Amino acid sequence: MTKTSFIYFFLFSFFTFASLISAYSQRFGYVDTDFIKSQMPEYNEAQAEINKISLQWQEEIQNKYKEIESLYNKLKAEEVLLTREMKDDRLSYIKKKENEVKEYHNKVFGYEGLLFLKRKELVKPLQDKIFKASAKVAKDNRLQMIFDKSGDLIMIYTDPIYDFTENVLEELGIGQKEEQSN
């Protein structure tokens, strides 16, 4: 083994060993944000408002589709009495109405539509509050990372001593209320 290859081998071994030691010294924790949100009255109120608005919009769109169906039925009933030009005009009008309803549906329920914006308006401040409390809990417990077990992260095994959900609830002032009520 040459002196240069020995130095490369030594440096590689040193950095591998150093990275292993630093990995072992890192501390991780996890929280269940779905559970935390379910314990937040303001989140439940926001969800109720979002559901109410969503149902109103769905009902409005359904009524517009019923109106279009009524126009189709009326056209079918009067079809034998209409000239080809009159029938085409009505069909064109009905198609225009259908397109308007589809556009409105996309405006409300589509990507970054009105429902998305309303959810963002109502829920984002609450999520920020949870993230801020999680960051404080992480700093207080000297954690390098906190995972959300209710997200896409799959946890095969979790040791309850690393579950900091209760700490975040306490930081939000929610856990203390429950203890007082017991």
In a domain, 5, yes or no: no
pLDDT band at residue 147 under the 50/70/90 scheme: confident
- pTM assigned to the model: 0.67
- Total number of domains in the chain: 1
As a whole number of angstroms, the distance between CA 64 and CA 182 comes to: 51
Which structural domain range is residue 117 located in?
Answer: 27-181
Looking at per-residue confidence, does 68 or 162 come out higher? Answer: 68
Lowest-confidence region among 22-26, 63-67, 124-128: 22-26
In a domain, 104, yes or no: yes
In a domain, 18, yes or no: no
In a domain, 12, yes or no: no
In a domain, 13, yes or no: no
As a whole number of angstroms, the distance between CA 90 and CA 77 comes to: 13
In a domain, 145, yes or no: yes
Q: How many residues does this entry show for the chain?
A: 182
Residue 96 has pLDDT above 90, yes or no: yes
